């Protein structure tokens, strides 16, 4: 990514639902949203393959579009439901992100927000590092690295970009 692209991505992104000439969906995000998404990628999937990092980032984007979770990236990441943090690392004291893993996480967040990646989670709204108990209420959408991705069965997804319908 060149310096002009990096600067443009780091400031503010185009409107949510805006479709580029190439058919990519660009996400509405502030600089703080970019940082929140990069932190989530760093803490949730830092040791996962690149595809796993992209899929985790898309789960957060899918949640913002679902109507089930808050509508901004930072709100989704910091969401507490029934006194439980949706992303456990947000409720614990943690070190500041650093190193190559942090650089990679910021780069992947930029690519996701600018519409440069496909939703490898295939519309998932959740993931975990072990297979969830068999359930009739969730639909498994992907397995990447050590993560299993899924969404509630009643929620349909457009697998092209993970946009929730």
**Reduced 3-state DSSP string for 19-41:** ECCCCCEECCCCHHHHHHHHHHH
User: What's the domain range around 38?
Assistant: 3-164
Whether 86 contacts 80, CB under 8 Å: yes
Contacts of 118 (CB under 8 A, 6+ apart): 54, 160, 161
Query: What's the pLDDT at 138?
Result: 85
Whether 25 contacts 18, CB under 8 Å: yes
Query: What's the pLDDT at 27?
Result: 67
Whether 40 contacts 127, CB under 8 Å: no
Give me the helices (H) in 46-98, please: 50-66, 73-77
Cα dihedral across residues 147, 85, 113, 64: positive or negative:
positive
DSSP 127: E
Q: Region 59-67: what's the mean pLDDT?
A: 94
Cα-Cα-Cα-Cα torsion 99, 104, 109, 110, nearest 10 degrees, comes to: 110
Q: What total number of domains does the chain contain?
A: 1
Q: Region 101-117: what's the mean pLDDT?
A: 96
Taking phi over 0 as left and psi of -120 to 50 as alpha, with beta for the rest, 52 belongs to alpha
Q: How confident is the model at residue 67 (pLDDT cuts 50, 70, 90)?
A: very high
Share of the chain above pLDDT 90, in %: 53
- What's the pLDDT tens digit per position in 2-24? 333 333 333 333 334 444 444 45
> pTM of the predicted model, to two decimals?
0.78
Where b means 16+ CB within 10 Å and e means fewer, 80-113 reads eeeeeebbeebeeeeeebeeebbebbbbbbbbbb
Query: What's the pLDDT at 82?
Result: 85
- What's the pLDDT tens digit per position in 21-59? 444 555 667 889 999 999 999 999 988 999 999 999 999
């Amino acid at each position: 990514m060149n310096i002009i692209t990096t600067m443009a991505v780091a400031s503010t992104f185009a409107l949510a639902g805006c479709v580029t000439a190439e058919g990519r969906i660009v996400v509405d995000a502030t600089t703080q949203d970019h940082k929140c998404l990069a932190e989530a990628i760093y803490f949730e999937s830092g040791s996962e393959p690149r595809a796993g990092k992209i899929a985790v980032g898309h789960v957060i984007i899918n949640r913002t579009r679902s109507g089930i979770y808050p509508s901004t990236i930072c709100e989704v990441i910091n969401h507490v439901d029934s006194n439980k943090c949706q992303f456990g690392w947000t409720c614990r004291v943690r070190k500041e992100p650093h190193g190559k893993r942090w650089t990679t996480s910021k780069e992947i967040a930029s690519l996701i927000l600018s519409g440069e990646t496909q939703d490898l989670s295939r519309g998932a709204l959740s993931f975990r590092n072990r297979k969830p108990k068999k359930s009739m209420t969730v639909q498994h959408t992907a397995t990447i690295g050590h993560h299993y991705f899924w969404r509630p069965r009643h929620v349909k997804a457009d697998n092209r970009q993970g946009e929730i319908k």
